[in-house]
Every structure is written in C-alpha cells, then in structure tokens.
Amino acid sequence: MRISNILATTFAALVAMACGGDGPAAPEDPEALRSPVGEFTLATVNGEDVPMLWDQMELAGGGTLKAYWNGGSVQFRADSTFTISYRHTLTGPRLPGNVQEDKYEGTWRLASGARIELLRKNGTVLYLQTTDLIYTVTQTSTVPSLDGGTEQVQFIFVRK
C-alpha cells in the first residue's frame, strides 16, 4: 500500500509539472498586473507577427524598396520612467539592409480609460491602450509610408 501512495504522489507531481506549460509564470499577486512595470515585447504590427514585411514599392529604375518591422520593446520602470524601441529594416538597391533602432524615453503614468500616458523627453505625449490587468499594451500611430504618404499602424506589445 505504501508503494502505491508513493507512485500516486509521484504521478500527481509529474502531471502538475507537465500541465505547467512553457509560458511565463503568472505573478503570485494578480494586483501586480495592474501596474505596467516590467518589459513588453513587440508581438504584432497590424495583426501580423513580427518580424514582418510592412511595405514595398517597385522603383522606376528597377528593383524593389522593402520595409520590415523586426521587433521592439517597451520597458516600464518602477521610478515611472520608460524606454520604447522599434527595430526596422529598409532594403533595396544600394541599401545595406541594416537593422535600425529608434528609441524614445521619458516618464509614464496610468491614465483613465485603461491607458498609459507616455511623456517623451521631447515633450510629446503618447497613449498606450491596455486593460485593467496589463498583459499587453497597444499603440496606434500614424507613420510614413514608402510612397511619401502616411498610414496608421497598430503595434501590440506582450508582457514578457
């Protein structure tokens, strides 16, 4: 009977470990998810997984100009500062195709309507959309397109 109890306990422990999944562990205190403090990784742009081809344009002299989103992140620190970065690549004739990174820093605060207000060091204010429990943050921006115009882009960052 004693061996049966040991086997049952061992089996239960193995099942519990197998069901744990490979995803990040949830905080022991769900209230921690009411704060954005931590790191978020760029997961999608306009609903497509990153990295992704964002735009392309045929050039009059031949060749194709292509723009890619390669990744990005947002770090919210407990001292109310943040760093947000976007990595992108532009390829085409006579372009090296190097990954470029744009970074912005400033301070953050929780705002009404499940939003996070970002005050960038240059004085501009951005709002990221979220929910009461902050698993993701969403930024909707207008960015330049290859044809000289602009287009609206939705970036979704997921908590690490």
Domain coverage including residue 142: 29-159
Q: Would residue 60 count as lying in a domain?
A: yes
Domain membership of residue 10 (yes or no) is no
What was the pLDDT predicted at 6? Answer: 33
Domain count, the chain: 1
**Domain membership flag for residue 1:** no
pLDDT for the residue numbered 22: 39
For the chain, what is the HEC assignment? CHHHHHHHHHHHHHHHHHCCCCCCCCCCCHHHHHCCCEEEEEEEECCEECCEEEEEEECCCCCEEEEEEEEEEEEECCCCEEEEEEEEEEECCCCCCCEEEEEEEEEEEEECCCEEEEEECCCCEEEEECCCCCCEEEEEEEEECCCCCEEEEEEEEEEC
The CATH code of the domain that includes 106 is: 2.40.128.300
42 closest CA partner among 78, 72, 70: 72
* Within-domain flag for 143: yes
Q: Please give the pLDDT value at position 139.
A: 95
Q: Please give the single-letter amino acid code of residue 117.
A: E
Total-model pTM? 0.77
For residue 43, the one-letter residue type is A
Residue 3 included in any domain:
no
DSSP bridge partners of 85: 73, 103
Residue 4 counted as domain residue: no
Q: Residue 29 has what pLDDT? A: 66
Q: How many CB atoms lie within 10 A of CB 100?
A: 10
Does 11 fall in a domain? no
| Tens of each residue's pLDDT in the chain, 160 residues | 433 333 233 333 333 333 333 334 445 666 778 899 999 999 999 999 999 998 899 998 889 999 999 999 999 999 999 999 999 999 999 888 899 999 999 999 999 999 999 999 999 999 999 988 999 999 998 888 878 888 899 999 999 9
Residue 49 lies in a domain: yes
